[in-house]
Amino acid sequence: MNKADTSSSTVVIAIDGPAASGKSTVARALAAHLGYRFLNSGDLYRAITWGCLSHGVDCRDTGAVAMAVGNSHVEVGCDGTEYYPIVDGTDPRVHLRHAAVNANVSPVSAVPAVRYILSAAIRAHAQGRRTVVEGRDIGSAVFPETPYKFYIDAPAQVRQRRRRNQGQTEEIAKRDLIDSTRSTDPLTIAPGATVIDSSTLDVEGVVAAMVEKLRAQGLVFDRTRR
Ligand code: CDP
């Protein structure tokens, strides 16, 4: 069956890229434009990291992280059109951008057991739906079969400036290095992904470029279904 056929029930648009590349903003805007659901996989990784920190787990200890994740209950809720994490019955969204989470999320995300659990949860929630999913390994590892893949990038200094403008002092280069050199599902440009430099376009411009590419690929937009 043609993957662009609107009668096929599962459609995933995968958006990957490094820290502060602007992919969350454009992914949310694209989902709203198309009438798709939106899943920010980074929030799931941040939520697991917050759970480890709350339990006093040493996030640099791979075995301890794997054990803590195995013992915790991670769920994915949905607020209308947007997915969000729930860890052991708590919605941790207000904590996800704290400095301690920023500092520990990449080591936690490098643990294979963490990736296994979250990749399975992400696949399960996209099944039978139309979803824009953003992260680091969405087009390369979680949904390698989707024909709709984007990689949003911007020069490192532009991304660091954006983070500072958001009131965050973290050095995003450290996270990028861990994310792109880990052995399990590293950040990479997935084969077939369309690379967009977000430093030369505003949000509407990036979304317009994505919509144009999706149309050229034959994706038919039907806002009556999610
Ligand atoms: O917002 P920002 O781009 O800085 O990061 P994020 O999307 O919130 O992701 C936070 C961290 O989660 C990343 O630096 C990765 O370590 C991890 N992550 C991952 O490993 N795989 C994903 N699919 C999404 C996030």
71 inside domain = yes
Q: In sequence order, what DSSP letters do the residues of 119-150 get, joined into one string? A: HHHHHHHHTTSEEEEEESSIIIIISTT-SEEE
What would the pLDDT profile of 158-194 be if each residue is shown by its tens digit? 999 999 998 888 889 999 999 999 999 999 999 999 9
Write down the pLDDT at residue 220. Answer: 80
Number of domains in the chain: 1
**Local confidence pLDDT in tens for the 226 residues of the chain:** 334 444 469 999 999 999 999 999 999 999 999 999 999 999 999 999 999 999 999 999 999 999 999 999 999 999 999 999 999 999 999 999 999 999 999 999 999 999 999 999 999 999 999 999 999 999 999 999 999 999 999 999 999 999 999 888 888 999 999 999 999 999 999 999 999 999 999 999 999 999 999 999 999 877 666 6
Residue nearest (by alpha carbon) to ligand 1 atom 12 = 42
47 inside domain = yes
3-state helix, strand, coil split of the chain in percent (to 5) is 45, 15, 35
157 inside domain = yes
Q: Is 185 in the pocket of ligand 1 (CB under 6 A)?
A: no
3-state secondary structure of 39: strand
Q: Would you say 49 and 104 are in contact if contact means Cβ atoms under 8 Å apart?
A: yes
| pTM for the structure as a whole | 0.94
2 inside domain = no
What would the pLDDT profile of 52-80 be if each residue is shown by its tens digit? 999 999 999 999 999 999 999 999 999 99
6 inside domain = no
For residue 145, the domain's CATH number is 3.40.50.300
Q: Is 198 in the pocket of ligand 1 (CB under 6 A)?
A: no
Domain that holds residue 211: 11-215
Please name the residues in contact with 14: beta carbons below 8 A apart, sequence gap of 6 or more.
Answer: 133, 134, 138, 139, 142, 143, 146, 148, 149, 150, 190, 193
220 inside domain = no
Q: Would you say 188 and 140 are in contact if contact means Cβ atoms under 8 Å apart?
A: yes
Q: In which residue are the tokens 């991304």 written?
A: 159
Q: Is 175 in the pocket of ligand 1 (CB under 6 A)?
A: yes
93 inside domain = yes
For residues 99 and 193, give the distance between their C-alpha atoms in angstroms, rounded to a whole number. Answer: 31
27 inside domain = yes
For a ligand 1 pocket test, name from 48, 122, 136, 142 the mutation site with the most ligand atoms within 8 angstroms of its C-beta.
Answer: 136
* CA 213 / ligand 1 centre spacing (Å): 25
Output the six-digit token pair for 131. Answer: 């979803």
